[in-house]
Amino acid sequence: MVAAAVALVILPLGADAVATVRIGLIGLTGAQSTGCRLVSVTDGDTLRLYCPNRGLIQARLTGLDTPEFFSPKCAAEFKNALRAKWALRWMLMTSRDLKFVREGTDHYGRALVFASADGVPVARAMISRGLARPYDGEARLGWC
């Protein structure tokens, strides 16, 4: 039980602390907000960013949908959500060039953000690895 708690809670927090990187968040106007930092990876398609001028921003990546980490409907969905979360975290940790472009806001108030890592759209990379599905805002399919 303790090992599971460490694996699910403490390791991700430590990885996010190590992975904190400087990024630029390009707003709807195209003006770049400098000094932004990736704070954490919430799940395979959601991040938290901190920008000095805007504060903490919950960001939903556009173009992909991943299994639900916090409300899975079955064990397989949870397992795949964990894989997607770690894959996204690894991709962002190991990339030399991260770009995030804000494209609007979703109905939960999260920033909708297009992301690329080393010139490759994150959505395309996650989908090609079988960790996500294409998503354009329509009804989502189940993962079980």
Return the pLDDT at 15: 53
Q: In whole angstroms, what is the distance from residue 72 CA to residue 84 CA?
A: 13
Mean pLDDT of 64-84: 95
Phi then psi for residue 115, to 5 deg, are: -125, 140
Structure-token match 């106007």, residue found = 29
Where are the strands (E) in 10-79, listed by range?
22-26, 32-43, 46-51, 55-61, 63-65
Whether pLDDT at 30 is above 50: no
**28, pLDDT greater than 60:** no
Alpha-carbon dihedral sign for residues 107, 108, 111, 113: negative
pTM of the model: 0.77
Written out in words, the top-level CATH class of the domain with range 2-135 is mainly beta
What are the boundaries of each domain within the chain? 2-135
pLDDT single digits (tens) 80-130? 999 999 999 999 999 988 888 888 999 989 999 999 999 999 999 999 999
